[in-house]
């Protein structure tokens, strides 16, 4: 999860965000980018290679905050554009319901989903992308993995905060959890 862009825009200063973070849960979106075949079957999952604020490197899905006054769909599109580049051509869902919600808590033990900075309720979506992805902003790379690779022990170890579970939940929803 990454707020730098948001706070830079002036919609909310970093001080204000810190104040709010300790008082209410924030609304987030998580998008699991996928490639699909013509019948809609997920063939690959896209994972971003990212440098975290503590300097470590990890694989993540697309994730970010919903701003005041912003529709969830617009937040989804904004974060997908930011992380996958402007020609990724993401296919946003027609239905507003997320396939699951992820509750990130500052304490790792509440739900297993963990964000040391805040309590966030994240609406999670599986988003097929058709275009060329050019990972931008903070992301070093975007790797397309098969469902088998995405749930492998090796890849799991590179994901933190519960994102490895999020990927498994997404694959299960898509009917292709190995």
* Residue nearer to a copy of itself on the CB measure, 97 or 153: 97
Q: Residue 18 CB, nearest distance to a copy of itself (Å)?
A: 11
Q: Residue 55 CB, nearest distance to a copy of itself (Å)?
A: 28
Residue 72 to residues 82, 122, 162, 166, Cα–Cα distance (Å): 15, 10, 22, 19
- The CB-side HSE value for 164 (13 A sphere, CA atoms) comes to 14
- Does 159 bind a copy of itself (CB under 8 A)? Our answer is no
DSSP reduced 3-state for 170: helix
What residue has token string 């170890």?
Answer: 157
Stretch that binds a copy of itself, among 18-26, 46-54, 135-143, 154-162 (CB under 8 A): 18-26
- Does 175 bind a copy of itself (CB under 8 A)? Our answer is yes
Largest CA distance in the chain: 47
* Residue nearer to a copy of itself on the CB measure, 114 or 173: 173
What residue has token string 């999860």?
Answer: 1
* Residue nearer to a copy of itself on the CB measure, 25 or 58: 25
What residue has token string 């309590």?
Answer: 119
DSSP summary character for residue 55: S
Q: Where are the beta strands (DSSP E) in 18-160?
A: 26-36, 42-51, 57-60, 62-65, 100-104, 120-128, 139-145
The secondary structure element, H or E, covering residue 100 is strand 100-104
- Does 81 bind a copy of itself (CB under 8 A)? Our answer is no
- In the region spanning residues 29 to 48, those forming contacts with a copy of itself, defined by CB under 8 A, are 34, 36, 38-42
* Residue nearer to a copy of itself on the CB measure, 36 or 49: 36
Q: Residue 89 CB, nearest distance to a copy of itself (Å)?
A: 9
Give the list of residues 6+ apart from residue 7 with CB closer than 8 angstroms, or none.
Answer: 13, 14, 17
**Binding residues for a copy of itself, per CB under 8 A?**
12, 16, 19-20, 22-27, 34, 36, 38-42, 65-74, 76-77, 91-101, 103, 105, 110-111, 119, 121, 123, 126, 128, 165, 168-169, 172-175, 177
């Amino acid at each position: 999860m990454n707020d730098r862009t948001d706070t830079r825009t002036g919609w909310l200063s970093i001080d204000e965000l810190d104040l709010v973070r300790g008082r209410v849960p924030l609304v987030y979106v998580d998008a699991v980018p996928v490639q699909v075949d013509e019948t809609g079957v997920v063939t690959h999952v896209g994972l971003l290679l990212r440098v975290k604020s503590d300097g470590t490197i990890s694989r993540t899905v697309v994730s970010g905050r919903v701003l005041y006054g912003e529709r969830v769909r617009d937040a989804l599109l904004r974060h997908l554009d930011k992380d996958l580049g402007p020609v990724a051509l993401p296919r946003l869902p027609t239905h507003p319901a997320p396939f699951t919600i992820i509750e990130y808590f500052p304490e790792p033990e509440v739900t297993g989903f963990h964000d040391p900075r805040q309590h966030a309720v994240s609406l999670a979506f599986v988003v097929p992308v058709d275009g060329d992805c050019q990972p931008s902003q903070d992301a070093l790379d975007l790797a397309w993995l098969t469902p088998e690779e995405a749930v492998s022990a090796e890849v799991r170890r590179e994901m933190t905060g519960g994102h490895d579970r999020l990927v498994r939940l997404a694959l299960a929803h898509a009917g292709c959890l190995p």
